[in-house]
């Protein structure tokens, strides 16, 4: 309890006691310490609500369109159209966020994207012409990079505390993994238990509500920084080779997902694949407690080595061995992503931080699409069942080779 301070004044004892506040003891857990800062709990809660639908929209659209039109090929093509257009509009929206602030851009961009999803639901329900589905999917591509905006807030709040920023980046990566684990499951349950459009409608409501809650937390929003460069963050030294590394890394994720689903081919495929994300989530939380960040090439070397475990397990034909291999292989994912995103934050000018991180996400998505297509081809034409698992190993090795050859990360000194 605070103790009264009866300090003497020239007229005698102070008429009213003043109280000394006992210094608050910060939690020992570095993650709990993050949320002792004012406003961090509120913006994180809003961002997590907004981020969960990112794992729901794709699965929901595939289920909804395939149920309405009887074609998985059409469903896949429509969702791919949205991703393709988003790869172009994403960096542009992020540039507007950097220039005009998160709240001023994210809310209208989200409202427009949600409107596109609702129109897509109406088109499917009314059996609209196929061309209308593609056009409407393109309208959903104004989705802002919610994870990037959250990381930008941490980078602003913790700009003078690199240890805490490392922990915050690890937390964000673990949150990404959790959302992409739970999102597809929630979408599938809603679409099957209620009606095919339920997943998209729920995701749209969560997305809009989460962004509104996130944007309302103005005290933690980074101020608009004066632009120090009129060009793209791609011109920052080391940024282009880093994006090439992200592209190859994305191919690891895309290929692993498709070849695992094709190899397992059954109701347990989803849970088996989720083990990779679970391993990544656990490793990310542990990595965030480390007092020193590893170099990116060290993380990529570990990823290249661990991605061989699913290949070895699949060659035995044992499903439990494959599940264990995916769990362990996933443990290299989060440390790699945390280190890579940390480099993006250090290489990109503060006035272009959202755009820089969105470019990294765009490179990852392009790699995922490439890996998915390559993995799908291997699943149909491979000479033996486990052949497809060579692709993630090759992609991870390529990412490591690119990093080592270009010296990515040497421009940004490590924390000590």
Tell me: do 182 and 253 sit in the same domain.
no
364, two tokens = 């990852």
Q: What CATH number should be reported for the domain holding residue 365?
A: 1.20.1250.20
Q: How far apart are CA 59 and CA 293, in angstroms?
A: 35
pLDDT at 15: 47
Q: What pLDDT, on the 0 to 100 scale, is given for residue 410?
A: 62
SS3 13: strand
For residues 151 and 165, what is the distance between their CA atoms, to the nearest angstrom?
A: 9
In a domain, 137, yes or no: yes
Do 370 and 242 lie in one domain? The reply is: yes
Q: What is the pTM of this model?
A: 0.72
Q: Do 276 and 201 sit in the same domain of this protein?
A: no
Q: Which parts of the chain register pLDDT below 70?
A: 1-24, 26-27, 72-73, 76, 225-234, 265-267, 269-270, 290-293, 350-351, 382, 409-416
Q: State which of 178, 206, 224 marks the end of a domain.
A: 224
Q: Would you say 247 and 345 are in contact if contact means Cβ atoms under 8 Å apart?
A: no
Of 177, 194, 224, the one marking the end of a domain is 224
Q: Are 122 and 189 in a shared domain? A: yes
Please tell me the predicted confidence (pLDDT) of residue 37: 83
* Residue 262 domain-assigned (yes or no): yes
Query: Quick check: helix, strand or coil at residue 19?
Result: strand
Specify whether 65 is located in the same domain as 93: yes
Q: Is 26 helix (H, G, I), strand (E, B) or coil?
A: coil
The answer to whether residues 253 and 169 belong to one domain is no
What are the CA-CA distances from residue 57 to residues 203, 204, 355, 361, 411 (Å)? 6, 8, 23, 17, 38
Residues 208 and 173 in one domain: yes
The domain total for the chain is 2
Same domain, 235 and 322: yes
Does any domain span residue 28? no
Are residue 134 and residue 194 in the same domain, yes or no?
yes
DSSP string of 336-382?
A: HHHHHHHHHHHHS-GGGHHHHHHHHHHHHHHHHHHHHHHHHHHHHH-
Determine, yes or no, domain membership for 4.
no
Q: What's the first-to-final CA gap in the chain, in angstroms?
A: 38
Residue 33 lies in a domain: no
Evaluate whether residue 30 is within a structural domain: no
Question: Which structural domain, as residue segments, surrounds residue 67?
Answer: 40-224
Q: For the segment 83-93, what is each residue's pLDDT rounded down to a tens digit?
A: 778 878 888 88
219 with 233, same domain? no
Q: Is 411 exposed, middle or buried (0-12, 13-18, 19+ CB in 10 A)?
A: middle
Q: Are residues 59 and 152 in the same domain?
A: yes
Give dist(CA 383, CA 315) in Å, integer: 13
Residues 291-300: pLDDT tens digits? 666 788 888 9
Residues 156 and 260 in one domain: no
């Amino acid at each position: 309890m605070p103790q009264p301070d009866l300090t003497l004044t020239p007229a005698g004892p102070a008429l009213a006691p003043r109280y000394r506040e006992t210094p608050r003891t910060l939690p020992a857990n570095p993650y709990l310490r993050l949320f002792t800062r004012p406003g961090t709990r509120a913006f994180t809660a809003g961002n997590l609500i907004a981020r969960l639908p990112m794992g729901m929209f794709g699965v929901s659209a595939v289920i909804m369109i395939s149920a309405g039109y009887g074609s998985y090929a059409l469903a896949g093509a429509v969702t791919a159209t949205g991703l393709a257009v988003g790869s172009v509009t994403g960096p542009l929206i992020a540039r507007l966020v950097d220039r005009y602030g998160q709240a001023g851009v994210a809310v209208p961009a989200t409202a427009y994207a949600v409107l596109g999803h609702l129109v897509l639901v109406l088109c499917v329900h009314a059996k609209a012409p196929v061309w209308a589905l593609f056009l409407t999917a393109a309208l959903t591509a104004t989705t802002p990079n919610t994870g990037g905006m959250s990381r930008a807030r941490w980078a602003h709040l913790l700009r003078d505390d690199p240890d805490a920023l490392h922990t915050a980046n690890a937390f964000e990566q673990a949150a990404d993994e959790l959302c992409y684990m739970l999102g597809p499951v929630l979408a599938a349950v809603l679409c099957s238990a209620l009606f095919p459009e339920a997943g998209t409608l729920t995701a749209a409501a969560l997305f809009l509500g989460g962004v509104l809650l996130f944007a309302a937390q103005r005290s933690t929003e980074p101020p608009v920084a004066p632009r120090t460069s009129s060009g793209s963050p791609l011109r920052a030294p080391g940024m282009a080779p880093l994006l090439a590394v992200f592209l190859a890394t994305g191919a690891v994720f895309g290929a692993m997902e498709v070849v695992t689903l094709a190899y397992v081919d059954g109701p347990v495929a989803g849970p088996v694949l989720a083990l990779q994300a679970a391993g990544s989530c656990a490793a990310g939380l542990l990595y965030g407690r480390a007092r020193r960040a590893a170099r990116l090439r060290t993380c990529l070397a570990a990823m290249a080595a661990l991605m061989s475990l699913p290949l070895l397990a699949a060659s035995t034909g044992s499903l439990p061995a494959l599940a264990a291999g995916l769990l362990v292989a996933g443990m290299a994912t989060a440390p790699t992503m945390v280190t890579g995103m940390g480099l993006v934050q250090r290489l990109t000018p503060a006035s272009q931080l959202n755009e820089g991180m969105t470019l990294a996400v765009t490179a990852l998505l392009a790699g995922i699409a490439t890996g998915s297509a390559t993995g799908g081809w291997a699943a149909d034409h491979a000479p033996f069942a486990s052949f497809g698992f060579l692709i993630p190993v090759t992609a991870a090795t390529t990412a490591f080779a690119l990093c080592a050859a270009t010296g990515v990360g040497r421009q940004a000194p490590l924390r000590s």
